[in-house]
Amino acid sequence: MGKPTGFLEYERKDQISVGPLERIKNFDEFHRSLPLEEQTIQGARCMACGVPFCQSGTMIAGMVSGCPLHNLVPETNELVHIGNWEQAYIRLSKTHSFPEFTSRVCPALCEAACTCGIDSKPVATKDNEKAIIDYAYENGLVTEEAPKVRTGKKIAVIGSGPSGLAAAQLLNRRGHSVTVFERSDRPGGLLRYGIPNMKLDKRSIDRRVKLMEEAGIEFKCGVNVGKDITAKEICEQYDRVVLCCGASNPRDIAAPGRDAKGIYFAVDYLKEVSKKLLDNNYDCSKVMEAKDFSFGSLKGKNVIVIGGGDTGNDCVGTSVRLGAASVTQIEMMPPAPSCRAENNPWPEWPRVLKTDYGQEEAIAVYGHDPRIFKTTVTEYIKGKKGELKAVKTVELERQIDKETGRMNMVPVAGTEKELKADLVLIAAGFLGSESYVTEQFGVDRDGRTNVATEAGKYQTSKSNIFVAGDMHRGQSLVVWAIAEGRGVAKAVDESLMGYTNL
């Protein structure tokens, strides 16, 4: 601990954020890193705790406290403090595959468990991580060398999201020959098409994939395993198969009028906008002025987003950029408290209300918070040509089921309303893996349609087939997907070699 009193002497300072009215003019990342000299001060705030919950990744009260990757947080923060950026990168790389992704999109589980956050602001570990990896790229420290010896074993990774990329990276380093299959036109999965560019610039993915290709990993894009090539063919050609296809089966909001023209799943909407940006070489003006989206132009249109999570917020921010006349976000649950409740103490994940970037932008543009809590859609109202015209909503309240004891959200009579709607985006989460993949591979699934394994294991009901990421644990965070990818790589390597040094 280089600065024992750092947490007392220095205030937390976050990276610079471009103002809402300025950043909505494009799809560029809008967080700017602090100068390295200032970032070192943020490293000095780390207390080097005797028990660093920040790196524990431990389940507490049904929620994870600390980083699932078990990053060596105090050690890395100390290296930031003394300005040894190269060693900080080396230390971070011992546990982390892709800091450039999590330092942009992770909700910072490490910071939520920071001891400094008990009665002050937590250490800016996420920003420190971003400064480390950005410095490493700028100074040529990030490499991915091809292994000197190959094992002769061939592995197919199905899906190129964060879990698939992490698995491929480590298995290739071990000397196995890895081929990654991706059904989309570009690698990245959720990172590429599920997260808007203003949160994660896709060039961050491209530079990492380029390094992986140079190290010998083969990417086959535009290949939908289970349709373009059968599971049987894959299993015949490869010694092991790793399923990393995500939990890409979206949950629907079924109600009368669901067949109206103008209702889309959020994941399809976000993918279409991101693809337009990539196809136009990041020319934001061509995206914001485009009229050839499947949903047409949003200028002058009223948008309803159903769902209050990160994906719903991304739809809000994207719709604001595309010029929507109004954006309303409907959330079924009541708002979280503004500060920690007594039954939610540190180091549990803080269940508190936050206003995310998309909501900030909607407030700046429309003058009010776009969110309506404790509400659901009961009907989609169509026009004469089948086009969406409005939605009917009803307020909800919590009520305990006397038979089961479960808390349910039930409609409140007399609270029905009608909201204008030209476009509805359903961001209600996902139901698990897509059946056409799991059925072809013949693997068992659990009650949530995730691929089943023994607790803490990655091998499926088929001995040569493994699974990781959202397809394994259900819809989750990028950091969890990377952790799963690293875990499954170890399991696959051990199954092939009899031991593993990963």
pLDDT beyond 90 at 239: yes
User: Tell me: the pLDDT tens digits for 160-196?
Assistant: 999 999 999 999 999 999 999 999 999 999 999 999 9
pLDDT beyond 90 at 225: yes
Stated as kind and residue range, the H or E segment containing 452 is: none
- Owner of token pair 């999590």: 102
pLDDT beyond 90 at 401: no
CA atoms of 103 and 432, how far apart (whole Å) = 26
CB-based burial label for 184 (10 Å; 0-12, 13-18, 19+): middle
pTM: 0.96
pLDDT beyond 90 at 63: no
Long-range contact set of residues 115-118: C-beta below 8 Å, sequence gap at least 24: 115/47, 115/49, 115/52, 115/53, 115/54, 115/347, 116/7, 116/45, 116/46, 116/47, 117/346, 118/346
CATH 3.50.50.60 residue ranges for the chain: 154-248+431-497, 263-426
Task: Kindly provide the b/e burial profile for residues 259-281, where b requires at least 16 CB atoms within 10 angstroms of the residue's own CB.
Answer: ebebbbbbbebbebbbbbbbeee
405 pLDDT band, cuts 50/70/90, is: confident
Domain 263-426: give its CATH superfamily. FAD/NAD(P)-binding domain (3.50.50.60)
Four-residue CA torsion sign, 481, 484, 490, 494: negative
Average of per-residue pLDDT across 484-488: 98
Average of per-residue pLDDT across 119-142: 97
Average of per-residue pLDDT across 256-284: 97
Residues sharing a CB contact under 8 Å with residue 384, sequence separation 6 or more, in sequence order: none
pLDDT beyond 80 at 2: no
User: Tell me: the pLDDT tens digits for 69-96?
Assistant: 999 999 999 999 999 999 999 999 999 9
pLDDT beyond 90 at 350: yes
Stated as kind and residue range, the H or E segment containing 189 is: none
SS3 (DSSP) at 43: helix
Give the Å distances, CA to CA, from 502 to 1, 4, 162, 172, 493. Answer: 29, 35, 18, 11, 8
Give the Å distances, CA to CA, from 393 to 93, 226, 256, 399, 417. Answer: 49, 39, 12, 19, 5
Cβ(76)–Cβ(91) below 8 Å: yes
Instruction: Check residue 127 and give its pLDDT.
Output: 98
pLDDT beyond 80 at 479: yes
Cβ(75)–Cβ(49) below 8 Å: no
Would you state the structure tokens that stand for residue 384, as one six-digit string? 């004469």
- Find the distance separating the first CA and the last CA of the chain, reported in whole Å: 29
pLDDT beyond 80 at 1: no
What CATH architecture applies to the domain 6-138? Orthogonal Bundle (1.10)
SS3 (DSSP) at 243: strand
CA atoms of 43 and 88, how far apart (whole Å) = 11
Q: Which residues does residue 425 pair with via DSSP β-bridges, in sequence order? A: 264, 305
- Chain CA centroid to CA 42, Å: 25
402 pLDDT band, cuts 50/70/90, is: confident
CA atoms of 382 and 257, how far apart (whole Å) = 7
User: Tell me: the pLDDT tens digits for 46-55?
Assistant: 998 889 999 9
Average of per-residue pLDDT across 231-236: 97
CATH 1.10.1060.10 residue ranges for the chain: 6-138
484 pLDDT band, cuts 50/70/90, is: very high
Which residue stretches of 159-246 are H helix? 162-173, 190-193, 203-214, 231-237
Average of per-residue pLDDT across 371-390: 97
Closest CA to 205 of 141, 142, 162, 251: 162
Stated as kind and residue range, the H or E segment containing 361 is: helix 357-366
Phi, psi torsion values for 497, nearest 5 degrees: -105, -10
pLDDT beyond 80 at 396: yes
Closest CA to 368 of 326, 331, 396, 335: 326
CA atoms of 502 and 498, how far apart (whole Å) = 12
- In CATH, the number for domain 154-248+431-497 is 3.50.50.60
pLDDT beyond 90 at 423: yes
Q: Which residues does residue 59 pair with via DSSP β-bridges, in sequence order? A: 64
pLDDT beyond 70 at 206: yes
User: Tell me: the pLDDT tens digits for 335-345?
Assistant: 999 999 999 99
HSE-CB for 212 with a 13 A CA cutoff: 27
pLDDT beyond 90 at 404: no
Closest CA to 407 of 416, 419, 396, 398: 398
Cβ(380)–Cβ(341) below 8 Å: no
CB atoms within 10 A of CB 214: 12
